[in-house]
Chains A and B, each alone.
Chain A
Amino acid sequence: MSAIIESPRQPQQRASKGRVNWEKYGWLYMRASGVLLIILIFGHLFVNLVQGEGIKAIDFAFVAGKYATPFWQIWDVVMLWLAMIHGSNGMRTIVNDYASNPLVRRILLGALFVAAVVLIVLGTLVVFTFDPCSTLIPADQALSFCPAP
C-alpha cells in the first residue's frame, strides 16, 4: 500500500458550509458527559455500595424505597442516558480503530446502535413505570406498606 502524503502547504480541507460537524460534537459530548458522570456514578456507588451494609442491603425493598422519590428516578435516568451514549460512542471509536473490514465494521456499529436504543428505552421505562405495589406482584411477595389487595 502506498501512502499519499499531501504537501504541507495544502490548505486544510474546510468542512463545507451548513454541514454539522458531528465528530466535534461527539468529542465535546464525551467530555461534558464525563464530568457529569463522575458525580452521578460516584454518588450511585457511594449510596449503593459504601453506605450502611453496602451490597448486602440491596434488594427489591431497597430499590422501591429509592424509586419512591423523583430524586433517584431522575438521577438514574440521567445517568442511564449519559452513560449509555458515552459508552456507545466510545465503543464506536474503538470499532472504527480496529475493524478494518467494512462489513464487520458496519455490523458492529449497527449492534452498538441497537443495543444503546433498546437499553435506553428499557431502562427509562423500568424507572418510570415501576410500581412497588403493583397488583401484578404475587401477594406473598408484596411489601408490608402496600395496601392489601
Chain B
Amino acid sequence: MWSWVLHRITGVAIYFFLLVHVLDTAMIRVSPDAYDAVMSTYKNPIMGLGETALVIAIMFHAFNGLRIILIDFWSKGAKYQRLMFWVVIGLWIVGTAGFAPIHLYNVFTEPH
C-alpha cells in the first residue's frame, strides 16, 4: 500500500521534472550563454538539494518498479513480494548513501 503511494508520488514528480528538463536542455539550441544561464540555476545549493531529492525519488521508483515487474512476470514474484519490498528499501538506502554525499559535495564546494 505505502509502496504504491510512494510509487505514484515519485512518478508524478519525475514527470514534472522531465517536462522542465526537456525545455532547459532545448536552450542549447538558443545560445551557449542561454544554456549556461539555466545550468547555473541547477548549480545553486537549493536546487542541489532538490536534485538530490529527485534522484532519491527516481531510485525508489526504479527499484520498486522492478519489484512490480517481478511480481507480474516471475512465477514466484507474488510469494516473495514482501521480501522484495525490503530488498527495494535496502537498495534504496545503499543507492542514496552512495549518491547523496557525492552530489552534495559537488554542490557545496567550489570547482577547482
Say whether A126 contacts B28, CB under 8 Å: yes
Say whether B107 contacts A123, CB under 8 Å: no
**Chain A interface secondary structure, helix, strand, loop or mixed?**
helix
Closest to A37 in B: B62
Q: A122 to B29, alpha carbons, bound, how many Å?
A: 10
Question: Which residue of B35, B43, B69, B99 is within 8 Å of A63 (Cβ)?
Answer: B35
Q: A123 to B15, alpha carbons, bound, how many Å?
A: 15
- A80-134, CB < 8 A from B: 80, 83-84, 87-88, 90-91, 94, 115, 119, 122-123, 125-126, 129-130
In this assembly, does B75 line the interface, its C-beta being within 8 Å of a C-beta of chain A? no
Say whether A130 contacts B32, CB under 8 Å: no
Residues of chain A with a CB closer than 8 A to B29's CB: 125-126, 129-130
Question: Which residue of A34, A49, A80, A83 is within 8 Å of B103 (Cβ)?
Answer: A49
Q: A91 to B13, alpha carbons, bound, how many Å?
A: 11
Residues of chain B with a CB closer than 8 A to A138's CB: 31, 33
Residues of chain B with a CB closer than 8 A to A54's CB: 102-103, 106
Say whether A119 contacts B62, CB under 8 Å: no
Residues of chain A with a CB closer than 8 A to B53's CB: none
Chain A residues near B (Cβ < 8 Å): 31, 34-35, 37-38, 41-42, 45, 49-50, 53-61, 63-64, 67, 80, 83-84, 87-88, 90-91, 94, 115, 119, 122-123, 125-126, 129-130, 136-138, 141-143
List 10 A–B pairs whose Cβ atoms lie within 8 Å, in order of A's numbering.
A34-B69, A55-B107, A58-B42, A60-B35, A67-B28, A119-B23, A126-B22, A126-B26, A136-B31, A141-B33
